[in-house]
Amino acid sequence: MREGVCVYSPYPTGGMPLYVAELLGAITGAAGSVDGEGGPSVEWLSSTDLDRRFLDGRYVVHPVLPAIRDASQFRTRIGYVVSRVLHHVRRDRRFLAWVRSRADIGAVHVQETPTLLPHLVVRLLRRRGTGVLVTVHNVRRHDYPPFLRPATVDRWLRRTYLDSDCLFVHSRGLADELERFLTAGGACTVPPIRVVPHGIWSTTAVPERIGEQRPAGRRLLFFGTIRRNKGLHLLLEAAARGDLAGYRITVAGEVAEPDHLDQIIVPLVEKARAAGVVIDLRPEFVPDDEVAALCAAHDVLVLPYTEDFVAQSGAAFMGLAHGLPIVATRSGALGELMTDHRIGVLAAAATPSAIAAAVHELCTLPEDGVAALADGMRRAAETLTWGGMAATTVAEYRRVLSRGRTPAARGGLR
């Protein structure tokens, strides 16, 4: 029996490699297994430019996939687009060639779905007899390649997921959303969908701050990629119309949608400043070694995501790792996270007024409310660990490796 598993995740920096490092660290553990039964060998396949801090010896990493070229290296937009298409073709071919070269690899755990023809990649793996497991981080894509129709990409993704042996998601609500997405294409059966709750980042945690933060300082932080579905415009609209007078807001994160920044965010920042709100706009990627200082300088993490966000928020777990209570909307898996754990205040709706009201509520908690918040955050830190995710993941690895592809049954959730 082929007992090896390849975790495919080519992103070199940011939340995705951090996620994979946490998962693999929990799977391998100090004794090499999460349950003492000697789990399958797991190896990470990534890009040549993978951040070197992830090459720490706790797990096996193969940084062999081609690195993507930055848009600034191209004189024209068309040149950049052509380069991206060719990059994905080369990367997929290198990925498949690496798997073919390893007779011991019996399954592939896909963390980042190939952009071009993902269903073809999965079918080629299946033809080889390789099991396929996919973590569906975003049930609804944040964005789509500019050269492909969204309906086409969604059709490819459905075929990819339906041809897999197991699908992982981060909440019960996302499992329901994923099943709806799959059956919307006419499927009568779906692969098993397993819920693996996201853990609080342990590699960046500041334990002494968890449960000790006091939100009365009114320093608000929006942290993460700047795109429309992250709802930054809702927070800034509240500030622009005077609902957040007396607060200071820092916006820090990489820009995914430049037009949204220029046409919506920047004008709202100017209006908010005119209304007397201090805004520190930092529209750029925040290096990992600067996150701790950024979080330490703030009192509340605000995640005002819109209903178009159908995923889990890595930023929420980064905030918790640094002791920041959260104001969030119900979008994606955030509602479930905020309801299951007393870690902040849930906005009644994804609107400027509701977000402002939730901020006020958190920052004016009475003494017993502050104590309950601190206790809730400590309990969340104890509960939201990576061990549970690793155990469920390894169990699926064993099932796929030992039985091959299992015919899926409708309703195979959780």
Q: Please give the average per-residue pLDDT across 398-410, as a whole number.
A: 65
For residue 222, the domain's CATH number is: 3.40.50.2000
Confidence at residue 48, expressed as pLDDT on a 0 to 100 scale: 96
Q: Identify whether residues 35 and 8 lie together within a single domain.
A: yes
Q: Within this chain, do residues 63 and 165 fall inside the same structural domain, yes or no? A: yes
Q: What is the mean pLDDT of residues 174-190?
A: 91
The answer on 163 and 30 residing in a single domain is yes
Query: What mean pLDDT value characterizes the chain?
Result: 89
For residue 218, pLDDT over 80 is answered with yes
What single DSSP character describes residue 263? I
Mean pLDDT value of segment 379-384? 91
State which residues form the domain around 220.
Answer: 207-383
Residues 288 and 312 reside in one and the same domain: yes
* Residue 409 included in any domain: no
Neighbours of 135 (CB within 10 A): 23
Give the full edge-to-edge strand order of the sheet including 300-303. Answer: 278-282, 248-252, 219-223, 300-303, 326-328, 344-346
> How many domains does one find in the chain?
2
Same domain, 187 and 39: yes
Mean pLDDT in residue range 360-378: 92
**Where is mean pLDDT largest: 18-27, 182-191, 399-408?**
18-27
DSSP H or E stretch at residue 235: helix 232-240
Residues 180 and 329 in one domain: no
pLDDT score at 132: 96
Report, as an integer, the average pLDDT of 56-60: 87
CB atoms inside a 10 Å sphere around CB 311: 23
Residues 12 and 105 in one domain: yes
Helices (H), 115-207: 118-127, 150-162, 172-183
Convert the pLDDT of each residue in 317-328 to its tens digit.
999 999 999 999
Q: What angle do CA 44, 48, 49 make, to 5 degrees?
A: 105
Mean pLDDT of 341-366: 96
pLDDT of residue 38: 62
Rounded to two decimals, what is the model's pTM?
A: 0.89
Domain shared by 36 and 152, yes or no: yes
The reported pLDDT for the residue numbered 34 is 46
Q: Is the dihedral of CA 227, 248, 290, 329 positive or negative?
A: negative
pLDDT band at 138 (very low <50, low <70, confident <90, very high): very high
- Does 269 share its domain with 352? yes
Structure tokens at 266: 């920047």
Q: What is the DSSP letter of 332?
A: T
**pLDDT for res 213:** 53
Distance between the two ends of the chain, CA-based, in angstroms? 27
pLDDT surpasses 80 at 2: no
